[in-house]
């Protein structure tokens, strides 16, 4: 993780990049620079940036990356302001839609320091400008599509509006986004609303909830439906996804019993079988039954590609069955690994021990041992699936 990224110009592109950096935890600090103090303060209040500055030296200080996200006509003046503060520790880049002239300006203004400038151009945008139409607005079309498909009744890209009059709020985003989302939700939480989630890790989520919501954490009832698909997005959603599937609720000590019951009843109403356990027990169990198998599937596919990129042509049903879950959402599984890393590493180590046992049996031509291992596994799985 980088320490600090400074964005010069917090408009549509700069604001969207800032929110994406914060959502993916690419840097500890996202600093916004501009000349309009009030707009920067509005961007900070909206959780688009962490810090603000109208002083170039202060904005660039300790930054790992500086992104120039202003109109290309301003580059020469901005580069002149930046130049005195450029050191070996910083990389300068841009989002400009022209490059030949920018490079010419960079070489003229920065001279030997031009080596620290890496030109870039994201081919993305909208007909409107300003941070007010940044990341949330980019999802407007998908929300409208979900509404048109009868998946939702109402839509909003405004958190206050979305939560207003809600009885239950379900956070169904990758676990790495929880800190940011809870910060956005917190001002609008009242005693009349219950917050819950569907995250695949619990110990770290509970920690974040307590840190961000503090006394309001009593309104958060952690839950995890053990159901899903290898594909993501509302396009593949189905109404019977949770029927006869387990849902684990890991109540907080300060949860009101009636709040826990409401979340229990919500999941029961959609056909799920609800169990209760501690966050720690949940992470230990899911680290073994869900997280480890996904790690194996990802590794198997990567191993196959590294050995022979065309081998998949000859892969049979067994490989396709085993590797199916490697089609899971990469961002979601990245966040799960980071949040439940201790349990996942422990189970990888344990699995490697069983793999070594199998390898030794093969290497020593121990047919009895091999048959025992395979028979035990077969009988166990057969008993699970009936």
What homologous superfamily does CATH list for 139-281? NAD(P)-binding Rossmann-like Domain (3.40.50.720)
Separation between Cα atoms, residue 146 and residue 235, nearest integer Å: 8
Q: What is the pLDDT of residue 386?
A: 63
> Dihedral through CA 119, CA 122, CA 126, CA 131, nearest 10?
-70
Select from 3.40.50.150, 3.40.1280.10, 3.40.190.10, 3.40.50.720 the CATH code of 2-131. 3.40.50.720
Ranges of H-type helices in the chain: 12-23, 37-45, 56-60, 75-82, 100-110, 135-138, 140-148, 159-163, 178-185, 203-213, 257-269, 279-286, 292-307, 317-323, 330-339, 341-363, 367-385
Domain boundaries defined on the chain: 2-131, 139-281, 286-385
Q: Determine the distance from the C-alpha atom of residue 291 to the mean position of all C-alpha atoms in its chain, rounded to a whole number.
A: 16
Q: What is the pLDDT of residue 360?
A: 96
CB half-sphere exposure, 171, CA atoms < 13 A: 27
72: how many CB neighbours lie within 10 A of its CB?
Answer: 16
Q: Is the pTM of this model over 0.85?
A: no
Q: What is the pLDDT of residue 249?
A: 98
In angstroms, the first-to-last Cα distance of the chain is 46
Given this chain, do its domains 139-281 and 286-385 carry the same CATH topology? Answer: no
Q: What is the pLDDT of residue 328?
A: 83
- Secondary structure (DSSP) of 185-225: HGGG--TT-EEEE--S--HHHHHHHHHHHGGGGGGEE-EEE
> Dihedral through CA 158, CA 159, CA 163, CA 169, nearest 10?
130
355 in helix, strand or coil? helix
User: Of 125, 102, 117, nearest to 15 (Cα)?
Assistant: 125
- Secondary structure (DSSP) of 27-85: EEEEEEE-S-HHHHHHHHHTTS-SEEES-HHHHHTT-SEEEE-S-GGGHHHHHHHHGGG
Separation between Cα atoms, residue 251 and residue 217, nearest integer Å: 11
User: Of 28, 12, 3, nearest to 95 (Cα)?
Assistant: 12
Per-residue pLDDT of the chain (386 residues), as tens digits, is: 789 999 999 988 899 899 989 888 889 999 999 988 988 999 999 899 999 999 999 999 999 999 999 888 888 999 999 999 998 889 999 988 888 888 999 999 999 998 989 988 876 655 555 544 444 444 677 888 889 999 999 998 888 999 999 999 999 988 888 898 999 999 999 999 999 999 999 999 999 999 999 999 999 999 999 987 777 788 888 999 999 999 999 999 999 999 999 999 999 999 999 999 999 999 999 999 899 999 999 999 999 889 988 888 888 888 888 888 898 888 888 888 988 899 999 999 999 999 999 999 999 999 999 999 999 999 999 998 76
Phi/psi zone of residue 95: left (φ > 0), alpha (ψ -120 to 50 degrees), beta? alpha
The vertex-285 CA angle with 211 and 296, nearest 5°, equals 105
Class in CATH terms, 286-385: mainly alpha
């Amino acid at each position: 993780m980088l320490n600090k990224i400074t964005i010069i110009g917090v408009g549509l592109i700069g604001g969207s990049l800032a929110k994406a950096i914060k959502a993916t935890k690419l840097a500890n600090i996202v600093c916004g620079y501009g000349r309009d103090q009030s707009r920067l303060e509005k961007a900070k209040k909206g959780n688009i940036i962490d810090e603000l500055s109208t002083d170039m030296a202060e904005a660039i200080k300790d930054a790992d990356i500086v992104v120039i996200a202003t109109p290309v006509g301003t580059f020469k003046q901005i580069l002149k302001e930046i130049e005195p503060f450029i050191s070996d520790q910083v990389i300068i880049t841009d989002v400009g839609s022209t490059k030949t002239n920018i490079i010419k300006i960079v070489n003229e203004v920065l001279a030997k320091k031009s080596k620290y400038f890496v030109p870039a151009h994201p081919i993305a945008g909208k007909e409107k400008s300003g941070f007010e139409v940044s990341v949330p607005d980019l999802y407007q079309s998908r929300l409208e599509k979900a509404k048109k498909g009868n998946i939702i009744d109402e839509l909003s890209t405004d958190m206050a509006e979305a939560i207003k009059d809600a009885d239950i709020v379900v956070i169904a985003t990758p676990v790495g986004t929880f800190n940011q989302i809870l910060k956005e939700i917190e001002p609008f939480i009242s005693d009349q609303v219950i917050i819950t989630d569907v995250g695949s890790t619990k110990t770290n989520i509970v920690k974040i909830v307590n840190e961000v919501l503090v006394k309001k954490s009593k309104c958060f009832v952690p839950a995890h439906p053990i159901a899903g698909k290898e594909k993501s997005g509302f396009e593949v959603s189905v109404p019977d996804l949770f029927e006869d599937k387990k849902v684990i609720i890991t109540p907080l000590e300060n949860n009101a019993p009636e709040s826990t019951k409401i979340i229990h009843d919500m999941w029961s109403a959609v056909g799920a079988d609800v169990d209760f356990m501690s966050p720690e027990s949940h992470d230990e169990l899911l680290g073994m039954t869900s997280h480890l198998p996904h790690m194996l599937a990802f590794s198997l596919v990567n191993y196959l590609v590294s050995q022979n990129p065309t081998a998949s042509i000859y892969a049979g049903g067994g490989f396709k069955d085993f590797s199916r879950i490697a089609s899971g959402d990469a961002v979601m599984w990245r966040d799960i690994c980071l949040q439940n890393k201790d349990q996942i590493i422990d189970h990888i180590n344990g699995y490697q021990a069983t793999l070594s046992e199998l390898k030794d049996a093969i290497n020593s031509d121990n047919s009895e041992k091999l048959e025992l291992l395979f028979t035990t596994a077969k009988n166990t799985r057969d008993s699970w699936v009936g």
